[in-house]
């Protein structure tokens, strides 16, 4: 029997499941941060929702913790890295609220189209205003879906039932997958120009923060209505209010805001805006699913069984030869997809050397975790990685050969015209990228990297390194090599921070520079 600390409200069905499994369920609501540090001592499991911050200090106090469960999808309040370093498994409930979020998106879509809350408030105030609150039909209108993940796909399916034409912007979805869903893929500018309604279903990242801004809104049709049930901050709220006031678009419906709780906003004064207080997952069914799912995952973890929704699963099933390559395989997947600028339709994975004699399926799963982990708004695990590949129409091809010329073991990925190889080198088995697009290199993979093709002439290294230095970006590693034909050089640099788009554009325009690609690992 384990002690499971539950400092937030959890669905009764989830609590019942834990109790019936024979565990001591310690529900302690309303604890302060200091009280929580005391309460976690001696607990083997901790189950939280979104309010509790699972910090390194809390994890350190919970020295007996085996598992932390997040009853929901997001993990913003859980320090996964600290948990991993402490050997604590982190699990969540990634499918618990997808239906509720999709249905709430449709509810706001309809409420915005038919002015339901405005008419409701007017009538209850004694005003019969039929002509003022005239709406529009969904039938025959174009719905632009930004993000075709699980929730976006569910919204698209429901919109089809209303007879809507569907456009979608998602650089990580293949044309074949979109065709299966009855959706036409489009660029973001085109989607804004053609859509009558837009619904947003992407994760909040540095790239998507402020995605819907003044510049983009000026490309929209004047009858456009925007729905956001994803994350606050993806839509620039000030720019949105200005666009509605100026008549650039017709209205919006928002469930999420850049700062929450949100009780005062220029948007609230606009009749064309419908708002709800982050209700996307607020259904009895979603809360029950989250509670039961997380209870199941925690019990599996406490029983040392396979946990489908573990976020930081260790590769205990891999052989001693394969296991050290798991982090490298995942990082290669991340680097390749960032180099490609999207998920490839065909992903070729080749294992050479001793690796070819072992079961490498878990390595392939690690590659897929890397490919999808940085581009989707949902957790990617060893279990759901193949499903995600199938959903996104990715043809995964694995090949093996026991012969390799220069290395004992080698992993090579190919996709969208790019090719990348890596291995573990030396007595310490340190990761090394040893080939990029047929150029021989030797550089450790890093979180931020640049691949620069340039003419093979003096001064090119200085041009690139000085440009980075002028904006305060340090270079931790650099390797230079010629192409097999010897007509162009390749620089691979690892930097201590992300290189911004403005500097990338500046480098691409510099004389002698053939191409510049930023990679994120």
In a domain, 519, yes or no: yes
Q: Which one from 49, 165, 177, 278 is the annotated catalytic residue?
A: 278
**Of 193-197, 282-286, 451-455, which one has max mean pLDDT?**
193-197
37, 371, 495, 507 from 334: Cα distances, Å: 36, 5, 16, 23
* Band of pLDDT at residue 28, cut at 50, 70 and 90: very high
User: In whole numbers, what is the pLDDT of the chain averaged over residues?
Assistant: 90
Residues 84 and 134 reside in one and the same domain:
no
What pairs with residue 398 in β-bridges? 349
Known catalytic membership, residue 398:
no
284-302 vs 98-114: helix axis angle to the nearest 10?
Answer: 160
- The whole domain housing 490 covers 437-521
Q: What is the pLDDT of residues 402-433, one digit of tens each?
A: 887 788 999 999 998 899 999 998 888 899 99
Residue 441's domain is classified under what CATH number?
3.30.70.260
Q: Is 392 a catalytic residue?
A: no
Which of 179-193, 261-275, 317-331, 349-363 is predicted with the least confidence, judged by mean pLDDT? 317-331
Co-location of 242 and 129 in the same domain = yes
Angstrom distances, CA of residue 430 to CA of 325, 387, 475? 10, 31, 19
Domain assignment present for residue 509? The answer is yes
Indicate whether 142 and 191 sit together in one domain. yes
Active-site residue, selected from the candidate residues 260, 390, 470, 498: 260
Three-state secondary structure call for residue 144: strand
Residues 382 and 488 in one domain: no
- Closest by Cα among 408, 307, 406, 306 to 357: 408
| Least reliable range by pLDDT among 239-253, 261-275, 335-349 | 335-349
pLDDT greater than 50 at residue 103: yes
The answer, yes or no, to whether the previous bond of 261 is cis (omega within 30 of 0) is yes
Q: What span, in angstroms and rounded, lies between the C-alpha atoms of 207 and 185?
A: 20
Longest dimension (CA), the chain: 84
Q: Are 146 and 201 found together in one domain? A: yes
Query: Are 254 and 125 in a shared domain?
Result: yes
Number of domains in the chain: 4
| Residue-wise pLDDT tens digits, 144-160 | 999 999 899 999 999 99
519 shares a domain with 494: yes
Task: Please pick, among 231, 392, 419, 439, the residue that the annotation labels catalytic.
Answer: 231
Both 110 and 190 in one domain: the answer is yes
Contact 448, 497 (CB under 8 A): yes
Strand order in the sheet with 430-436: 395-401, 346-353, 409-415, 418-425, 430-436, 439-443
The Cα–Cα gap between 125 and 119 comes to 10
Same domain, 366 and 490: no
Helix 116-124 and helix 98-114: axis angle, to 10°? 60
Specify the pLDDT at position 315: 46
Active site residue 260: yes
Same domain, yes or no, for 217 and 102?
A: yes
Q: Is pLDDT larger for residue 274 or for residue 444?
A: 274
């Amino acid at each position: 029997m384990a002690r499971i600390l539950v400092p937030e409200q959890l669905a009764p069905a989830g609590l019942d499941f834990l109790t019936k499994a024979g565990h001591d369920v310690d529900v302690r609501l309303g604890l302060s941060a200091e009280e929580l540090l005391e309460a976690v001592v001696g607990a083997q499991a901790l189950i939280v929702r979104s309010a509790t911050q699972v910090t390194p200090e809390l994890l350190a106090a919970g020295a007996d913790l085996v598992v932390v469960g997040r009853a929901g999808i997001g993990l913003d309040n859980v320090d996964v890295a600290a948990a991993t370093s402490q050997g604590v498994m982190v699990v969540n409930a990634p499918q618990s609220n997808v239906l509720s979020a999709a249905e709430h998106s449709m509810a706001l879509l309809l409420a915005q189209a038919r002015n339901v809350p405005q008419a409701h408030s007017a009538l209850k105030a004694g005003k019969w205003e039929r002509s003022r609150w005239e709406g529009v039909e969904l039938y025959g209108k174009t719905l632009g879906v930004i993000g075709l993940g699980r929730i976006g796909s569910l919204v698209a399916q429901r919109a089809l039932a209303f007879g809507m034409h569907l456009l979608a912007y998602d650089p990580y979805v293949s044309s074949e997958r979109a065709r299966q869903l009855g959706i036409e893929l489009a660029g973001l500018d085109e989607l804004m120009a053609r859509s009558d309604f837009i619904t947003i279903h992407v994760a909040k990242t540095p790239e998507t923060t402020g995605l819907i801004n003044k510049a983009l809104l000026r490309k929209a049709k004047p009858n456009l209505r925007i729905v956001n049930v994803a994350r606050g901050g993806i839509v620039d709220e000030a720019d949105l209010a200005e666009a509605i006031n100026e008549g650039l678009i017709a209205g919006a419906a928002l469930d999420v805001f850049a700062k929450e709780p949100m009780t005062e906003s220029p948007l609230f004064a606009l009749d064309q805006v419908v708002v709800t207080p982050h209700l996307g997952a607020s259904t009895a069914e979603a809360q029950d699913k989250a509670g039961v799912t997380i209870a199941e995952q925690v019990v599996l973890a406490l029983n040392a069984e396979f946990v489908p929704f573990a976020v930081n699963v260790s590769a205990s099933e891999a052989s001693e030869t394969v296991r050290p390559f798991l982090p490298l395989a995942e990082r290669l997947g991340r680097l390749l997809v960032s180099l490609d600028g999207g998920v490839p339709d065909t992903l070729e994975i080749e294992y050479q050397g001793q690796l070819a004699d072992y079961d490498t399926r878990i390595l392939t799963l690690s590659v897929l975790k890397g490919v999808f982990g940085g581009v989707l708004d949902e957790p990617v695990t060893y279990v759901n990685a193949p499903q995600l590949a199938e959903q996104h129409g990715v043809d995964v091809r694995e090949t093996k050969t026991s012969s390799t010329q220069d290395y004992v073991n080698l992993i090579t990925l190919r996709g969208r015209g790019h090719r990348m190889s890596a291995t573990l080198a030396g007595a310490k088995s340190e990761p090394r990228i040893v080939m990029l697009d047929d150029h021989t290199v030797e550089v450790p993979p890093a979180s931020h990297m640049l691949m620069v093709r340039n003419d093979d002439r003096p001064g090119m290294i200085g041009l690139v390194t000085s440009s980075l230095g002028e904006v305060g970006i340090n270079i931790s590693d650099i390797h230079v090599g010629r192409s097999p034909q010897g007509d162009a050089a390749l620089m691979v640099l690892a930097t201590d921070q992300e290189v911004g788009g403005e500097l990338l554009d500046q480098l691409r325009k510099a004389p002698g520079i053939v191409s510049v690609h930023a990679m994120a690992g």
